[in-house]
Amino acid sequence: MSGGVDSSVAAALLVEQGYDVTGMTMRVASGEGRETSSKACCTLDAAQDARRVADKLGIPHYVINYVQRFEREVIQDFISEYMAGRTPNPCSRCNQRVKFGALYEKALAIEADVIATGHYARTTLRGDRVALLRAKDINKDQSYTLSGLGQAQLHRAMFPLGEMSKEDTRNVARSLGLVTAEKPESMEICFVPNDNYRDFLVSRIDAPLAGPIVNLQGELVGHHSGLVNYTVGQRKGLGIAAPKPYYVVKIDMQRNALVVGHEEEALCTGLTATQVSWCAIPPQKEPFDCAVQTRYKATPIPCTVTPDAANPETFSLTFHQPQRSVTPGQWAVLYDSDAVLAAGVIAK
């Protein structure tokens, strides 16, 4: 229970259906300005709201201290990815390693049958595998950020809001008189003050150094203010005067250089993903066609996937049409219609 309307209603629906429900809230704030915020989850204010909801529902509620685990599994991963020139997705990491990692372990320890969250997603059984499906409300679908979950986690996962819209959820909360009914959505990275990840990175690492901006021919076309301020595919804010707009093509940490190209030069024909988790299908050995989503809220695009037969945690793929803004560090999630087939972190 994050203290928002979604997890509040998820708990309420399970109580209504006769489940024996225990509410758990993660404490992940570590004194860096995120203890109170109306737009972030897992703050002290959010924990108090979760407790009020639990009291209203008549269920026990616990706040669990995961500050150190969250620091190690999510924040340090976030920092190291940026320092390696990649753009991470901390929500996917949190779902994989904390909500369905540390909290999953706690659920097993108290002999819970399932762990339920307020995510908008669905699951279904396909043979002996659990398939993760998109939510019925495609505008709220969160299957992308849940795609790193393994089969053991999915077998014990429950998403009560998967068939509902956001307005349905708020209407349930209103009808029950829950204090979270009108609470705004959490739109921020929960550990980043003022939703400014650049300032956060500067506060945790040595100040970023300015350096050259070069085109694909190696020619100097400008200067950057520090590589952590940029991401692959970025067009605005480069400060380059040119007849045609430039896009970030590569972040070269070794040379402290930002590599840019014009739109036709920024197109990508494929990618390689690692740390792969297979979902609706077991690890494959032969190429297959599907759709891939390379960013949260991005449109899935047709591709041909070539699995690494020797290493099931790696696959490469070729887009049927070249794409822009394919960013190392983000997740490449393979879909067959609404079902997640597999997902991995874009390595190159």
Helix or strand (DSSP H, E) at 118: none
Pairing relationship of beta strands 315-323 and 268-278 according to DSSP bridges:
antiparallel
Is 258 strand, coil or helix?
Answer: strand
Q: Collect all residues with Cβ–Cβ distance below 8 Å to 7 and sequence separation of at least 6.
A: 1, 50, 117, 118
Q: Where are the beta strands (DSSP E) in 37-178?
A: 61-65, 115-116, 121-126, 129-134, 157-158
User: Of 9, 5, 44, 35, nearest to 193 (Cα)?
Assistant: 35
In angstroms, the CA 331 to CA 280 distance is 17
170 touches 182 (CB < 8 A): yes
94 is catalytic: yes
Token pair for 39: 């737009």
301 touches 321 (CB < 8 A): yes
In angstroms, the CA 123 to CA 109 distance is 23
Q: Which of 41, 42, 190, 290 is catalytic?
A: 190
190 is catalytic: yes
In angstroms, the CA 242 to CA 116 distance is 52
In angstroms, the CA 84 to CA 253 distance is 7
Largest CA distance in the chain: 67
Q: Which of 42, 94, 290, 303 is catalytic?
A: 94
Cα–Cα–Cα angle for 89, 90, 96, rounded to 5 degrees: 100
23 touches 61 (CB < 8 A): yes
Q: Where are the beta strands (DSSP E) in 115-168?
A: 115-116, 121-126, 129-134, 157-158
Residues acting as catalytic residues: 94, 190
